[in-house]
Amino acid sequence: MPELWRGYVGQSFAGTLLLRFKQAIAHNNDVDSRIDDRAEDREPKFFVRQMLLDFDSKDVKEAYKLKASEVPFGFEFIQHVTFRDINFGEIDKGDDVYSVAGEKKPRSGFKLCRHCGQVQRTKRNEWERQYDQLHAKDCKQYGNDDPANIVECLYLYREFASEALRILMPYTSAGVEETSVVSFMAALRLGVQERFGGDVSHVGSIAQKEKSPGDGPPLRCLIRLRSWRHWVSS
Ligand SMILES: [Zn+2]
């Protein structure tokens, strides 16, 4: 599978269905959930999540770079950026490994019923094990194990838009070290706070890899965005 950077569009991603996450509904039987309190349900699950951004070059309103070519550094103001926080599925269901925006990770997605949305998780009891598939009790395919009922791989995402400042991290031929990126983020936050004063926690930063114009290592960019507080609380 080719390396994926920007350019994916709303409803598909490498041929995989993308669904905007709005609401989760638990179908647990109330009595079972009270008496069947074993560890299986309560083990923490870890997911592969990645924040990707998309914007049109016409929305870059101002851009600056250093004249000195030996120190690559520049930044630009983008009036409208769409941010998508994509959940690629559980980290330990790692068969389908491929690279998105320079991050090679397992991306097995979620397997669920296309009619009722029931996730095909590990079965918990004998009642569930009588059929291959899991469905909500009121699903029209309940008790029907037709493979056509199942979406094999679906990614979930949340989305919001903001204006943003994109900053190219100074780099060498070996790329940029992770510690330099984190240190730069902290320094920038402190600088904004010193310059403007007050609480700057509504302004967030995201480190992002960008494809190099040549064959070199990925460029590292830092995205400063407003509405951060709205994003983390939504
Ligand atoms: Zn169903």
What is the tens place of the pLDDT at every residue in 175-196? 677 888 888 888 888 888 898 8
Ligand 1 centroid distance, CA of 98 (Å) = 29
Ligand 1 centroid distance, CA of 147 (Å) = 11
Ligand 1 (ion): which residues have CB within 5 A?
113, 115-116, 135, 139, 141
Reported confidence tier of residue 73, pLDDT bands at 50, 70, 90: confident
Residue 99 lies in a domain: yes
114, 144 Cβ separation under 8 angstroms = no
Ligand 1 centroid distance, CA of 127 (Å) = 16
Residue 95 lies in a domain: yes
* Top mean-pLDDT range of 13-22, 163-172, 219-228: 163-172
Ligand 1 centroid distance, CA of 111 (Å) = 11
Reported confidence tier of residue 114, pLDDT bands at 50, 70, 90: very high
Residue 6 lies in a domain: no
Reported confidence tier of residue 103, pLDDT bands at 50, 70, 90: confident
Ligand 1 centroid distance, CA of 106 (Å) = 26
Q: Which of 8-12, 120-124, 140-144, 189-193 has the lowest mean pLDDT?
A: 8-12
Ligand 1 centroid distance, CA of 24 (Å) = 15
Residue 2 lies in a domain: no
Within 10 angstroms of residue 118's Cβ, the number of other Cβ atoms is 21
- In whole angstroms, give the CA distance from residue 224 to residue 226: 7
Reported confidence tier of residue 7, pLDDT bands at 50, 70, 90: very low
What average pLDDT does range 71-96 have in this prediction? 86
Number of domains in the chain: 1
- Range of 132's domain? 12-233
pTM of the model: 0.74
Ligand 1 centroid distance, CA of 152 (Å) = 13
Please give the C-alpha separations between residue 111 and each of 76, 152, 155, 228, in angstroms, as whole numbers: 40, 5, 9, 31
- In whole angstroms, give the CA distance from residue 132 to residue 229: 43
Burial of 102 from C-beta contacts in 10 A (0-12 / 13-18 / 19+): middle
Decide which of 84 and 42 is more confident: 84
Residue 172 lies in a domain: yes
Retrieve residue 99's tokens: 């690279």
Q: Which helix (H) or strand (E) holds 79?
A: strand 74-90
Ligand 1 centroid distance, CA of 25 (Å) = 13
Ligand 1 centroid distance, CA of 182 (Å) = 45
CA angle 150, 151, 156 (to 5 degrees): 140
What average pLDDT does range 92-121 have in this prediction? 85
Residue 216 lies in a domain: yes
Within its chain, how far is the Cα of 125 from the centroid?
33
Radius of gyration of the chain (CA): 22
Residue 7 lies in a domain: no
Residue 5 lies in a domain: no
Reported confidence tier of residue 24, pLDDT bands at 50, 70, 90: confident
